[in-house]
């Protein structure tokens, strides 16, 4: 199993999420890396503008090439992210759950060669990382997703309670 940091926009991650991760695309300059992906590999999403880690998905197919317009590029108009894999989300965090890269990245093994300039480790669209870094990222993201799910369940329960109370007050 290989672990990958996918460096990209929150928008493209949300596009994939809205499609159920039936496909995730990578830039035209990343064919060599994407061609190494196999089912079972893990994708960790680093969201560039907000500088946060936003979730994890598992690769479920070999890579393939597809030029249909799905993903967007702000820097390179016409970039169609042609190298793609199918994936399934393990969890995708809401913006308020995402983990701040500045708090985690300096302690990752793969950023050490850049020292104080660790941000350089996140240049490009795709980086292979060691399993130890995957665990350092996955564990707090799982916890954030679990807390978020519990909070959502509590909010939904409270909303049901309020609706039932309102019905009782109306006599219904």
Cα–Cα dist 127/97, whole Å: 23
Q: What is the pLDDT along the chain (172 residues), one digit of tens a residue?
A: 999 999 999 999 999 999 999 999 999 999 999 999 999 999 999 999 999 999 999 999 999 999 999 999 878 888 999 999 999 999 999 989 999 999 999 999 999 999 999 999 998 889 999 999 999 999 999 998 886 444 444 444 545 555 656 677 777 6
Q: Which two tokens stand for residue 42?
A: 């893990």
Determine the pLDDT at residue 153.
40
Cα–Cα dist 82/68, whole Å: 8
Cα–Cα dist 116/142, whole Å: 28
Strand partners of residue 83: 26, 65
The model scores a pTM over 0.75: yes
Burial of 70 (0-12, 13-18, 19+ CB in 10 A): middle
Q: For the stretch 46-69, what's the b/e string if a residue is b when 16 or more beta carbons lie within 10 angstroms of its beta carbon?
A: bbeeeebbbbbbbbeeebeeeeee
CA 165 to chain centre: 39
Cα–Cα distances (Å) from 52 to 9, 88, 99, 142, 163, in that order, read 10, 20, 5, 14, 36
Cα–Cα dist 64/89, whole Å: 19
Determine the pLDDT at residue 151.
42
Cα–Cα distances (Å) from 46 to 7, 66, 68, 75, in that order, read 5, 23, 24, 17
Q: Which two tokens stand for residue 91?
A: 């969890």
């Amino acid at each position: 199993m290989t672990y990958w940091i996918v460096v990209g926009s929150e928008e493209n991650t949300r596009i994939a999420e809205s499609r159920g991760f039936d496909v995730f695309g990578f830039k035209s300059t990343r064919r060599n890396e994407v061609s190494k992906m196999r089912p079972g590999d893990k994708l960790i999403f680093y969201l560039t503008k907000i500088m946060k880690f936003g979730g994890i998905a598992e690769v479920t197919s070999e890579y393939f090439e597809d030029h249909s317009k799905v993903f967007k590029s702000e820097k390179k108009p016409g970039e169609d992210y042609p190298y793609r894999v199918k994936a399934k989300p393990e969890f995708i965090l809401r913006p308020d759950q995402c983990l701040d890269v500045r708090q985690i990245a300096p302690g990752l093994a793969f950023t050490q060669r850049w020292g104080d300039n660790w941000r350089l480790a996140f240049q490009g669209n795709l980086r292979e990382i060691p399993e130890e870094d995957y665990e350092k990222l996955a564990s707090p993201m799982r916890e954030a997703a679990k807390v978020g799910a519990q909070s959502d369940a509590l909010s939904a329960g409270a909303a049901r309670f309020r609706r039932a109370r309102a019905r009782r007050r109306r006599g219904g």
